[in-house]
Amino acid sequence: MWLEKLTLLNFKNYEEAELALSPTVNAFTGDNGAGKTNLLDAIHYLSLCKSYFNPIDTQQIRSNADFFMVQGSFDKDSAREVVSCSLKRNQKKQFRRNKKEYQRLADHIGLFPSVMISPNDVNIITEGSEERRRFIDNVISQTDAQYLDELIVYNKNLLNRNAMLKSIAERGSYDPELLAILDDQLVASGQKIFEKRKDFMAVFIPVFQKHYQYLTEDAEQAELKYESPLFDNDFHELLRSSVERDRFLQRTTLGIHKDDLNFSVHGMPMKKFGSQGQQKSFLIALKLAQYSFLQLKKGYKPLLLLDDIFDKLDDKRIRKLMTMVSHDDFGQIFITDTSRTRIEGIFAAIGVELTTFVVSKGAVSHEKNER
Ligand SMILES: Nc1ncnc2c1ncn2[C@@H]1O[C@H](COP(=O)(O)OP(=O)(O)OP(=O)(O)O)[C@@H](O)[C@H]1O
């Protein structure tokens, strides 16, 4: 699966642009603020129906315009598939595949998978556990259509139980049977999600380790652990044992909404002790493992979107990473860099052909590389 042509209309700082892409490595080069990342984000829209960077769709419409449109022509199993997303101000986002509009955007998720690696990903390490759960949930839902629905059910059950805890606090008494029914609902949905997360992590962690070791040449010991209160406890029992605390705090304190990933380097927490380069390497290995997992489940190669990937990595890691991603295991790649000379030099050194697009103030020109 690869993206042959990308067309933009009034998308962020682009009034109009059309790119004929290469099935292998595409580089977007240009000054800061030129619009390189915006091109990656447009591709992300085609894959996941939303921006990677900004959840507010209307903010993607070019200032002073009243709509945006992003369209991509994909080659999938040698057939042409056209995906388009358009949004008019004050109207619903329209998403089409081969001219047919989707009723549920969720039906599109996973058909044209992609993985973005961007400087924003550092939030997965530095921010709260919600970011890490979001990461897990995003990866699983690209390969399991029911997972998102199950999460929605769990969150609804959690809201119901929390509302009940609030009303108990207001009334000062409660009906244990009613709470037991809400517990049953929460346990039934939570247990399914826990099992799926556990199965996913069992496949994911060894792949992550393999990528991290390759990237760092075994110089660093990094560890990734899935933590959930459900590992050592029965969920019903957990809810029963924490009922007094839950009543006092008026919310459910234990459950899969507290799951987390623990990241460490040489046995120390990555967040506090990892250098910027180590954190970046860790995140890259995490995203490459996401790539490998998607490929394994889908049977074809996702698109790889690399934003500002060279920043904070030493030359050796850059060379190793670029050699790896331009190898046969990977498919179509998009990379941004402010320096055309640097990116062309890196790919010339590893003998991989590169298609360069020069971006300047929302205009793109395709440059022929003479090597
Ligand atoms: N809705 C919009 N309308 C007009 N311009 C926009 C809109 N959204 C973003 N931009 C502009 O897009 C530009 C940022 O583009 P982008 O993030 O792609 O830059 P970049 O080339 O990746 O830069 P850097 O090298 O600094 O990462 C900014 O100039 C910003 O003002």
Q: Is the shortest distance between the CB of 38 and ligand 1 below 6 Å?
A: yes
pLDDT number for residue 369: 61
- Give the whole-angstrom CA distance, residue 280 versus residue 314: 11
Model ipTM over 0.95: yes
Q: Where are the beta strands (DSSP E) in 212-285?
A: 222-227, 260-265, 268-269
- Give the whole-angstrom CA distance, residue 12 versus residue 87: 12
Centroid of ligand 1 to alpha carbon of 195 (angstroms): 41
Centroid of ligand 1 to alpha carbon of 33 (angstroms): 5
Q: Is the shortest distance between the CB of 62 and ligand 1 below 6 Å?
A: yes
- Give the whole-angstrom CA distance, residue 236 versus residue 227: 18
pLDDT number for residue 313: 87
- Closest residue (by CA) to atom 29 of ligand 1? 33
Report domain extents, the chain: 1-113+302-371, 127-298
Question: Mean pLDDT per 10-residue run, the chain (371 residues)?
Answer: 98 97 96 97 96 96 97 95 97 96 91 95 96 95 91 97 95 88 97 98 96 88 95 95 95 97 95 92 96 94 95 88 88 96 94 95 79 45
Structure tokens belonging to residue 358: 């020069």
Q: Where are the beta strands (DSSP E) in the chain?
A: 2-11, 14-20, 25-29, 67-76, 79-88, 94-97, 100-101, 114-117, 222-227, 260-265, 268-269, 303-306, 333-337, 355-360, 363-367
- The DSSP result for 61-110, as a single string, is BPTT-SEEEEEEEEEETTEEEEEEEEEETTS--EEEETTEEPS-GGGTTT
Q: CATH class for domain 1-113+302-371?
A: alpha beta
- Give the whole-angstrom CA distance, residue 111 versus residue 142: 8
pLDDT number for residue 371: 45
pLDDT number for residue 83: 98
- Closest residue (by CA) to atom 24 of ligand 1? 32
Binding residues are 30-37
Centroid of ligand 1 to alpha carbon of 37 (angstroms): 7
Q: Superfamily for 127-298?
A: RecF/RecN/SMC, N-terminal domain (1.20.1050.90)
pLDDT number for residue 368: 62
CA torsion through residues 288, 294, 297, 302, sign: negative
